[in-house]
Structure 1
Amino acid sequence: MSDNADQNARAPLAGPADPDKVATSPAPHSPGAAPMREMKADLVVIGAGSAGLSAAAGAAQFGLSVVLYEKGEMGGDCLNSGCVPSKALLSAAKAAAQVREAGKFGIETTPPRIDWEKVKLHVRTSIATIAPVDSQERFEGLGCTVIREHAKFASPDTVISPTTRVKARRIIIATGSRAFIPPIEGLANTPYLTNETIFDLPDFPEHLVILGGGPIGMEMAQAFVRLGAKVTVIEMGKALGRSDRAHAEIAIEALRAEGVTLLEGYKATKVEQDGKTIRVHTEPKDGEAWTVEGSHLLVAVGRQTVFDGMDLDKGDVDHDRKGIIVGDNLRSASNRRVWALGDAAGREQFTHIAGWHASVFARRAFFKQRTKADSLPVPAVTYTSPEVAQLGLTEAEAREKHGDDITTPSFQFEESDRAIAEADTDGEVKLIVRKGKLLGASIVGKEAGDLLQLVSVAMSNGLGVKELTNFISPYPTRAEGVKRAANAHYADVVFGKSAKRLVGLLQRIP
């Protein structure tokens, strides 16, 4: 998950769209009920999360008539229960960790005292500060008609809600996703938390048990252990399984050193409650079974798309478990009037992907460009300390595809002067290179997500590893690590026997 929505959603306010483009007229829809509003629009957007807001803002500022449906909170999951609150909580936890670690700089402190209510206030304040950018008032100021109701299809070109029927030229489904709840025995009858409820937890957990060792699970594990809870993570496979394995292990060991108990290769088979105790029974792939007892349970085993009650069949919109069936243009395979953006498109589930999807939609729908949703490498960052950032192919994926025809030049932060000065030298930059072409990169360490953007710019614009050597990096910065990893790719060429021989010959020239 990323921290911000696409720039289109945060652009300056524009005047309202042409009022003639939104036609309304009363029409009765049931005896005794208020007349249903009938409308026509250039674009209907279902879902006011990152993708929907970005697309709606862009269309409205182009002067098109836009109807935006949202039955829940404006801003969607990212603002209200995802990126923003999780990073706010992580920041509070990081502050507590810095107090504990101040001694390594010669600064004596007392252990931090955690006020859970004030931590939650910081989380709520972060949300409230950003909320006006995603608010109904802002989007009405842009010219959108915002309807805070559940929307569903009445026909392939018509969307209805309890008060409104809209016939649209184009329809965007951007309904996002929610936490997947696995079919574990007893779970449905046991109180559990998801990302939608954990940030408003009334009482701080004494022992938080987390199902799932992916980015959400591991981020919350570190946050709560730093704030003073006991934390156990149960993961069926490998924690941070989609990241570079060696880099994931560096982050995992850091969490274990801080007190997180991680059970990898354990499947939760049964959950039960005994008074205030929640008990999770596990089945190992190998070894001894564990029963974990805790005060609270967080389910973080993945996400599932949300299409509840949308009558997609009436809209002639084909879909599967992952999302709407779309092509690389994000257009429905069965109804070309319909587009799916963000999590609803069944691809990567990141806020920055939602913003990119809105850009792809605008380019294709309004400017008739042939931009593809999968045309750029997708960055993924787990915001633990150290951060784990991944772009393109991992080393394992590249070797599986190209064998030994790749190189992995790297730079360890223990050689970074800035990292040494900060007493935070864990991690490295690793580039995945084949014949001078960048296939991917993995960075683990402080601010890894920020550093990855240098490689992302290069890969997205067709630049090779050579271009990462040809810029002046300010000293001392961690970003030097990207350049020095790229330099390492050419070390044998620049300082090898042939280069020495050439330099020797050139020195004979007056």
Structure 2
Amino acid sequence: MGGERKCDVCIIGAGSAGLSVAAGVAQLGLSTVLVEAGRMGGDCLNTGCVPSKALLAAAKLMHAHRHPTLAGVPPHAFVTDRAAVNAHIRGTIATIAPHDSVERFEGLGVHVIKAHARFLDGGRLQAGGEIIAAKTFVVATGSMPAIPSIPGLDPARVLTNETIFYLDVVPEHLVVIGGGPIGIEMAQAHRRLGSRVTVVETNTILPKDEPELVEVVRRTLVGEGIDILEHAQVASLAHEADGTSVAVAIGGGSERSLAASHVLVATGRKATVEGLDLDKAGVAYGPKGITVDARLRTSNRRVYAIGDAAGGPQFTHIAGYHAGIVVRNIAFRLPARVDYRALPWVTYTDPELAHVGLTLAEARARYGDAAQSLMLPFTGLDRAVAERRTEGLIKVVAEKGGRVLGCSIVGPGAGELIGLWGLAIDRRLKLRHLAGLVLPYPTYSEIGKQAAGAWYKPSLFSDRTRWLVRWLAKLPAL
């Protein structure tokens, strides 16, 4: 056992949240220790955002070759080379990995310890052979797949996001348990790689999104040959030598048996807090994660918790947002607080489904009839017509006076389009501000301007406005 190392800040976890805090406080001149028992970069780099988007990109390109949407472009038939897909995934991770590496952070002045951390008391922790005494601790240990309790399910015989990106084969029949973003993204990707795919969801798929826009995604998935079983539940699994038999209970008392070559469990994630000895540090936590206040402080004011470990929204961009909040609190002693009014999320299907702010149901619950909505299809968007991608929709939620409360978009590049609406919500802008924008033509971004303009169309072309224009026409010219 070595001596006690003193520092200003000690961060547990080298995922997106922890790395952002470490880089920030170290470059601001605070002595910093970073503890990580696993791989640098955490879930996002190794088993989450990065490999999933690499896989989705490969699958999208293959689908475009097999099923071109433009006249005069012939389809190309080919068999998926899973080894080549895996090489693309590994290459993507390898390209990004240096940014998250031990070497980079040591170059920033961070002392990196590759070991498991556990608290000894409210001001010290042990990591490997070192004891760290810090003025402030930040717990950024992320989350792990939550495996449901299903009769016959062997966790070692099913796939999660931690293992599905490293398969050597294209599954013959992939059964996905869970119809949230991860399950739906992986369902479409593997269908496009050549797998037969069945999704089993106890509710409806993508239940947190606007139903009209989810329907666009659902139609696309079904049109591509994915079998979606909603309001259904996996009753039991039986693992066999050549696959898994999945018994599904469907509404009405019927049951269906699926012969799966592979099973993906995508039923949510749970905060990683086991083994940290949080009780010794006086840090309160529960089933959803560590309890924090609006400044992300735990019950021990010397300890912050951020990212998935804090039990809030589980997104990499939230991890980065939390990191900024904590750096301001620690380094500048500013009482920065979280504000999720403009929280965006994207499901990276094709078409993409993006959302920010309140849904119509949430807005009605908060503002009553003062919350209104408008929905506009991509059919009047010239860029979408040119690319034969008119299946998209935008749904805007706003107060009667036009203040933007929420927005959902389904269509090509929806994740790129949603940022403008996040800014509008964050800055409390009204739709007239968006209607007055000058946007390049032809682009998908015009759908936002069109929707904002459509919001004011009834009042602009009303009888009262026409009367005013006729009256003004009688006045002398300027």
Q: After TM superposition, give the deviation of residue 439 of structure 1 in Å.
A: 1.2
Match for residue 44 of structure 1? 10
Match for residue 366 of structure 1? 331
- SS of the equivalent of 1:408 reads strand
Contact preservation (8 Å) 1:190, 1:271: no
Letter in 2 for 1:56: A
Contact preservation (8 Å) 1:103, 1:109: no
TM-score scaled by length of structure 1: 0.91
Match for residue 34 of structure 2? 68
1:476 aligns with 2:433: no
- SS of the equivalent of 2:25 reads helix
- SS of the equivalent of 2:237 reads strand
Q: After TM superposition, give the deviation of residue 410 of structure 1 in Å.
A: 2.7
1:98 aligns with 2:64: yes
2:43 to 59, 70, 77: 77
Runs of 5+ consecutive residues of structure 1 not aligned to the other structure? 1-34
Q: After TM superposition, give the deviation of residue 148 of structure 1 in Å.
A: 0.6
Match for residue 137 of structure 1? 103
* 1:203-222 to 2 correspondences below 5 Å: 203-222=169-188
2-side partners of 1:406 and 1:107: how far apart? 45
Match for residue 370 of structure 2? 405
Letter in 1 for 2:241: G
Match for residue 386 of structure 1? 351
Q: 1:103 to 1:404 in 2, by over 3 A?
A: closer
**Residues 164-220 of structure 1, C-alpha deviation per residue, up to 9 Å, x if partnerless?**
100000000000001100011111266101000011112221111110000000000
Q: After TM superposition, give the deviation of residue 396 of structure 1 in Å.
A: 2.0
1:426 to 378, 382, 391: 391
Q: After TM superposition, give the deviation of residue 409 of structure 1 in Å.
A: 2.1
2-side partners of 1:427 and 1:404: how far apart? 27
Contact preservation (8 Å) 2:341, 2:357: no
Contact preservation (8 Å) 2:176, 2:200: yes
1-side partners of 2:279 and 2:80: how far apart? 51
Letter in 1 for 2:116: H
1-side partners of 2:62 and 2:174: how far apart? 18
Contact preservation (8 Å) 1:410, 1:488: no
2-side partners of 1:103 and 1:505: how far apart? 51
Match for residue 440 of structure 1? 406
Letter in 2 for 1:286: G
Match for residue 321 of structure 2? 356
**Residues 394-429 of structure 1, C-alpha deviation per residue, up to 9 Å, x if partnerless?**
112222333332221232101100000011111211
Larger displacement relative to structure 2 (212-221 or 106-115): 106-115
1-side partners of 2:75 and 2:221: how far apart? 22
**Residues 475-499 of structure 1, C-alpha deviation per residue, up to 9 Å, x if partnerless?**
0011000111111111112111111
1-side partners of 2:110 and 2:341: how far apart? 30
TM-score scaled by length of structure 2: 0.97
Letter in 2 for 1:196: E
Q: After TM superposition, give the deviation of residue 103 of structure 1 in Å.
A: 5.7
Letter in 1 for 2:140: A
Q: After TM superposition, give the deviation of residue 363 of structure 1 in Å.
A: 1.6
Q: After TM superposition, give the deviation of residue 502 of structure 1 in Å.
A: 1.2
Letter in 2 for 1:219: E
Larger displacement relative to structure 2 (404-413 or 312-321): 404-413
Q: How many residues align?
A: 475
Q: After TM superposition, give the deviation of residue 376 of structure 1 in Å.
A: 4.0
Match for residue 316 of structure 1? 282
2-side partners of 1:410 and 1:211: how far apart? 31
1:341 to 295, 306, 309: 306
Runs of 5+ consecutive residues of structure 2 not aligned to the other structure? none
Letter in 2 for 1:424: R
Q: After TM superposition, give the deviation of residue 162 of structure 1 in Å.
A: 2.1
Larger displacement relative to structure 2 (432-441 or 106-115): 106-115
Letter in 2 for 1:411: L
1:86 aligns with 2:43: no
Contact preservation (8 Å) 2:70, 2:387: no
- SS of the equivalent of 2:98 reads helix
Match for residue 485 of structure 1? 451
2-side partners of 1:371 and 1:69: how far apart? 25
Q: After TM superposition, give the deviation of residue 287 of structure 1 in Å.
A: 4.8
2-side partners of 1:187 and 1:212: how far apart? 15
1:253 aligns with 2:250: no
Match for residue 297 of structure 1? 263
Q: After TM superposition, give the deviation of residue 52 of structure 1 in Å.
A: 0.3
Q: 1:289 to 1:47 in 2, by over 3 A?
A: same
Contact preservation (8 Å) 1:410, 1:486: no
Q: After TM superposition, give the deviation of residue 277 of structure 1 in Å.
A: 2.2
% identical aligned pairs:
46
Q: 1:507 to 1:466 in 2, by over 3 A?
A: same
Letter in 1 for 2:308: D
2-side partners of 1:376 and 1:491: how far apart? 27
2-side partners of 1:466 and 1:338: how far apart? 44
1:192 to 158, 175, 196: 158
1:166 aligns with 2:127: no
Q: 1:250 to 1:375 in 2, by over 3 A?
A: closer
1-side partners of 2:425 and 2:356: how far apart? 9
1:147 aligns with 2:121: no
Match for residue 473 of structure 2? 507
Larger displacement relative to structure 2 (367-376 or 162-171): 367-376
- SS of the equivalent of 1:233 reads strand
Q: After TM superposition, give the deviation of residue 450 of structure 1 in Å.
A: 0.7
1-side partners of 2:463 and 2:78: how far apart? 57
- SS of the equivalent of 1:64 reads coil
Larger displacement relative to structure 2 (173-182 or 111-120): 111-120
- SS of the equivalent of 2:289 reads coil
**Residues 235-263 of structure 1, C-alpha deviation per residue, up to 9 Å, x if partnerless?**
11110011111111110110110011110
2-side partners of 1:149 and 1:449: how far apart? 37
